[in-house]
Amino acid sequence: MAEVVIVRSMAAAGGVAADAIEQLVRRNPRAVLGLATGSTPLSTWTALAARNLDLAQVRGFALDEYVGLPAGHPQSYRSVITREVVEPLGLNPELVRVPADSGPLETAGDDYESAITDAGGVDLQILGIGRTGHIGFNEPGSSFASLTRIKTLTQQTRLDNTRFFDSPEQVPMHCITQGLGTILRARHLVLLAFGAAKARALAGAVEGPLTASLPGSAIQLHPRVTVIVDEAAGSDLVHADYYRYAWNNRLEWERI
């Protein structure tokens, strides 16, 4: 079962996620992080940046990327990762990969899988969840065995991401994303969610039936998952009281 941590604020959630990353990097300065974009991970990056850790040897793999944006577009996930993660955290940009950042698009999925494998796999994967229940850009119907590949975004996701563009039409229709199978190979999944708009998808992912119709439910197949939510995003969780009780009574030696 996922460890579910219900906190009061995004900042508190970012602190808990940053604890997990800090513990990992102190054990292994060359750790491999799975990086997410969007609003959700921002408090994690902020909390981590404030700790002034030496992250220069950390390697990173972004979850996903739009297909069809011109190189250097400010909303390409390469640009977003550079701006919001690489620069504030002091990562080495040469050690951070984004899907389809080199070579032809046709083989970009396989190339990315090979690069992750060659790096020894992802140690800790940061995840958000979309209102459609997607993790990465694995929209409903994605196979639990899927690997990095091109996908078509749902209209809901394009609409949700319109806030980063000038108009809905400018949001790309296609993306390349790590698959659910790729994500499940990471050694530790840390999924964050904030706000009431995420409550249904989050509860489905943590407690609902395992179904490709709610791709986030794939986390139930993983042996080590930490879910960090605010009260609003956790408001549909049936077992919220138990999660609070378990977290408040965790044993001293338990790592998140």
Residue ranges binding ligand PGA (CB under 6 A): 38-40, 128-130, 134
Minimum distance from residue 37 beta carbon to ligand PGA (Å): 8
Minimum distance from residue 57 beta carbon to ligand PGA (Å): 27
* CA neighbor of 179 nearest in space, from 79, 34, 30, 2: 34
Nearer to ligand PGA, 53 or 144 (CB): 144
Q: Is 91 helix (H, G, I), strand (E, B) or coil?
A: coil
Nearer to ligand PGA, 38 or 109 (CB): 38
Minimum distance from residue 132 beta carbon to ligand PGA (Å): 8
Nearer to ligand PGA, 10 or 86 (CB): 10
Please check whether residue 165 is in contact with residue 76, taking contact to mean a CB–CB distance below 8 angstroms.
Answer: no
List CB contacts of 129: < 8 A, sequence separation 6 or more: 40, 135, 191, 193, 198, 201, 202, 205, 216
Minimum distance from residue 136 beta carbon to ligand PGA (Å): 7
Minimum distance from residue 17 beta carbon to ligand PGA (Å): 13
Nearer to ligand PGA, 55 or 153 (CB): 153
User: Which pair of tokens denotes residue 219?
Assistant: 């986390």
CA-to-CA distance for 95 and 90, rounded, in angstroms? 11
DSSP state of 140: T
Alpha-carbon torsion angle 158, 162, 168, 169, nearest 10: -80
Burial 168-184 (b: 16+ CB within 10 A, else e): eeebbeebbbbbbbbbb
Minimum distance from residue 157 beta carbon to ligand PGA (Å): 7
Nearer to ligand PGA, 89 or 129 (CB): 129
Nearer to ligand PGA, 231 or 239 (CB): 231
Residue with the shortest CB distance to ligand PGA: 38
Minimum distance from residue 117 beta carbon to ligand PGA (Å): 24
Nearer to ligand PGA, 7 or 95 (CB): 7
* CA neighbor of 65 nearest in space, from 83, 45, 55, 79: 79
The runs of H, that is alpha helices, within the chain are 10-27, 42-49, 77-81, 87-89, 108-118, 155-160, 180-185, 199-207, 240-248
